[in-house]
């Protein structure tokens, strides 16, 4: 009996972690474990208490015939801040400054531990935003979008700057890049996004905001709405004012001539207490 | 006491799932839960038994002063096959045939559930390969590489076909594409891969094998070795013989003139019993 409960708690934890933001019926667990509904209910009570205690997230119970439980991952703000501070420290290196105002982040974007952390933080912040899809731009936004997608359990779509023959029909728009000085094209496969989707826009680095303004136009082309914008890092005091609301995980502070790195600080996502 | 055990089992399950293929010392759990070493050892015995029972993977115990536990995720072959058969069914649609011999897979590459499944299957197959890094080509290989990276807990690097100013120095090679008829370029950021890395190559779709041959050359440029090649889907009876060993999750069977889809079948990864 004790063993059965242990077995169920381990298996249920595993199952819920792999199915975040999804209504799982009690009957699913009753069938799977061949256990009484009352035992499963007791298991759920334990999980409901221990998930927040262990900083995993919360479990909601939905009553009624079509009821069940929903696991919503979240990370405690103090733990998130502490780990991002460590990441900022790791990024504080003049070699990361690249020509053209960019900042080298590619190693972070291929690291599974960093991606898990970033995914958890962004998914925690936007867990109530009601997003139905994530939009990002290839290539470097993709790992971030995917990490968030795993924790919010909604799909992501990849906008691309280059046209490919391997995609079928696409919708393409023009946008102003690098301080309005250059017009570029971005495109998205036509059946990537449905009508009326609620889109969370994710990108790796925000300087002038041209790419994100482009993605906002793309959203309109698909008759979708944007419910949030989040970037991994932004430049403090960018060359231009940005015309949209967004959150960042980190702020990169560079010298006035943009050639030296002064500091990397936690971003606005940690100031926000709504 | 019973509650403590439940708490620990849930928290340890969560922690191990987030740290696959990583040696976690018993002391970490002793400190975290303020529990006796004997209680933690008992918890580990329970996890060691229930992880395989619940089809989560295996837990190895490493003895000695620097010892601890290592969680190795795996998916049961019959469960993997069953779910891939369902995916094959979902993909059996003539609209997926694109001009140029390609097959539309982009919706799969943005779906968190499918990516979890694919990541688990590939990571199970290559769990003993000793890979230290995953290599893929942008854009469509990236979600697959990341999914595998999450379960193998090794970083992934993104080879690109286009040059970007936002990356720093890159190594670039030329490769023959589309049946040797066109020479293209691919490049990888110089400090992405260290000397002597063991690389697992991942891509979305295999037809002639030009892109993967290119990635093999890239591996050599970095003095790395390739320990495995895996693709999500391959064309059955491709236009050309492929000159390397690989595994696929699915085989796409098209009509002789390449314009009609006949069938989508589970790939060679399921035949392999070594």
Same domain, B113 and B29: no
The contacts of residue B49 (CB under 8 Å, 6+ apart) are none
The CA–CA distances, whole Å, from B116 to B83, B120, B179 equal: 11, 6, 33
CB-CB under 8 Å, A112 with B46? no
Q: Is there a single domain that holds both residue B67 and residue B86? A: no
- Structure confidence at residue B90 (pLDDT): 95
Closest CA to B237 of B206, B212, B200, B260: B206
pLDDT in tens, B96-145: 988 877 899 999 999 999 999 999 999 999 999 999 999 999 999 999 99
Instruction: Give the pLDDT score at B35.
Output: 94
Cβ neighbours for B84, distance < 8 A, ≥ 6 positions apart:
B117, B121, B249, B250, B266, B270
Query: Can you state the angle between helices A141-152 and B112-125, rounded to 10 degrees?
Result: 100
Boundary (domain end) residue, out of B27, B47, B73: B73
User: Going by DSSP bridges, is the β-strand pair B198-206/B225-235 parallel, antiparallel, or unpaired?
Assistant: parallel
Angstrom distance (rounded) from CA B117 to CA B135 = 19
Residue of higher predicted confidence among B257 and A232: A232
Q: What is the mean pLDDT of residues A184-207?
A: 94
Half-sphere exposure of B180 (CA within 13 A, CB side): 4
> What pLDDT does residue B72 have?
98
A190 and A149 within one domain: yes
* Same structural domain, A69 and A91: no
Q: Best mutation site among A51, A59, A166, A186 for testing chain B: the one with the most B CBs within 10 Å? A: A166
CATH code of the domain containing B167: 3.40.50.2020
**What percent of chain A is modeled with pLDDT above 70?**
95
Query: Rounded mean pLDDT of A111-128?
Result: 98
- Is the pLDDT confidence value at A265 over 90? yes
Convert the pLDDT of each residue in A120-158 to its tens digit. Answer: 999 999 999 999 999 999 999 999 999 999 999 999 999
Q: Pick the residue of B19, B42, B54 with the most A CBs within 10 A to test the interface with A by mutation.
A: B54
- Domain match, A41 and A162 both: no
Residue of B15, B146, B186 best to disrupt the A interface, most CBs of A under 10 A: B146
Q: Are residues B151 and B252 in the same domain?
A: yes
Task: State yes or no: pLDDT of A274 exceeds 80.
Answer: no
pLDDT surpassing 80 at residue A237: no
Q: What's the confidence (pLDDT) of residue A239?
A: 65
Neighbouring C-beta atoms of residue A37, cutoff 10 Å: 11
Are residues B69 and B131 both part of a single domain? no
Q: Do B106 and A158 touch (CB under 8 A)?
A: yes
**What pLDDT score was predicted for residue B158?**
96
CA distance A130 to A121: 16
- B73, B94, B116 — which closes off a domain? B73
Confidence of residue A114 (pLDDT cuts 50, 70, 90): very high
- State the pLDDT at residue A1: 42
Say whether both B57 and B84 belong to one domain.
Answer: no
pLDDT beneath 70: ranges in chain B: 1-3, 163-166, 178-180, 238-239, 272-274
User: What percentage of chain B has pLDDT greater than the value 70?
Assistant: 95
Selecting from A6, A149, A161 the residue whose C-beta is nearest the C-beta of B46 gives A6
Chain A residue whose CA is closest to B103: A166
Q: Say how far apart CA B86 and CA B266 lie, in whole Å.
A: 10
Domain ranges, residue B251:
77-270
The DSSP bridge pattern shows strands A261-266 and B57-62 to be unpaired
**Domain count for chain B:** 2
Helix (H) or strand (E) holding B221: helix B210-221
Q: Where is the domain boundary, A73, A98, A118?
A: A73
Closest by Cα among A179, A174, A250, A184 to A209: A179
**CA B179, chain centre distance (Å):** 27
What distance in Å separates residue A238's CA from the closest CA in chain B? 16
Residues of B in contact with A7 (CB under 8 A): 50, 53-54
Size of chain B in residues: 274
Same domain flag for B48 and B88:
no
Residues B148 and B250 in one domain: yes
For tokens 């053209």, name the residue.
Answer: A100
Q: Residue B36's domain is classified under what CATH number?
A: 1.10.10.10
pLDDT value, residue B274: 47
Strand pairing category for A102-103 and A133-137 = unpaired
The answer on A211 and A88 residing in a single domain is yes
Q: Which residue has the higher pLDDT, B121 or A101?
A: B121
Compare B208 and A78 and report the one with higher pLDDT: A78
**Tally of CB atoms within 10 A around B60:** 11
pLDDT band at A164 (very low <50, low <70, confident <90, very high): low
Residue B63's contacts (CB-CB under 8 Å, 6 or more residues apart) are none
Q: Give the angle A126-A116-B87 at the CA atoms, nearest 5°.
A: 90
Q: How many Å separate Cα B182 from the centre of its chain?
A: 29
The bridge status of strand B23-24 relative to strand A247-254 is unpaired
| Average pLDDT rounded to a whole number, residues A165-172 | 80
Residues B184 and B259 in one domain: yes
For the record, the structure tokens of A59 come out as 């479990």
Residue B244 · residue B180 · CB < 8 Å: no
């Amino acid at each position: 009996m004790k063993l059965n409960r242990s077995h169920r708690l381990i298996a249920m934890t595993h199952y819920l972690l792999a199915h975040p933001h999804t209504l799982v019926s009690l009957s699913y667990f009753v069938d799977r474990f061949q256990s009484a509904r009352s035992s499963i209910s007791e298991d759920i009570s334990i999980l409901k208490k221990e998930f927040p205690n262990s900083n995993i997230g919360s479990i909601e119970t939905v009553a009624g015939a079509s009821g069940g439980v929903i696991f919503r991952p979240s990370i405690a703000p103090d733990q998130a801040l502490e780990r991002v501070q460590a990441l900022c420290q790791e990024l504080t290196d003049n070699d990361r400054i690249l020509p053209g105002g960019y900042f080298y982040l590619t190693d972070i974007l291929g690291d599974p531990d960093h991606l898990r952390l970033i995914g958890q933080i962004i998914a925690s912040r936007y867990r109530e935003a009601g997003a139905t899809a994530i939009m990002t731009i290839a290539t470097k936004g993709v790992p971030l979008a995917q990490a968030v997608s795993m924790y919010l359990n909604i799909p992501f779509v990849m906008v691309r700057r280059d046209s490919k023959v391997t995609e079928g029909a696409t919708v393409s728009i023009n946008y102003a890049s690098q301080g309005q000085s250059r017009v570029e094209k971005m495109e998205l496969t036509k059946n990537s996004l449905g009508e009326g989707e609620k889109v969370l826009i994710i990108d790796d680095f925000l300087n002038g905001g041209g790419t994100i303004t482009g993605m906002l136009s793309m959203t309109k082309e698909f008759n979708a709405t944007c419910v949030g914008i989040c970037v991994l890092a932004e430049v403090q005091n960018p060359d231009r004012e940005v015309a949209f609301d967004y959150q960042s995980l980190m702020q990169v502070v560079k010298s006035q001539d943009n050639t030296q790195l002064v500091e990397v600080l936690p971003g606005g996502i940690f100031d926000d207490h709504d």
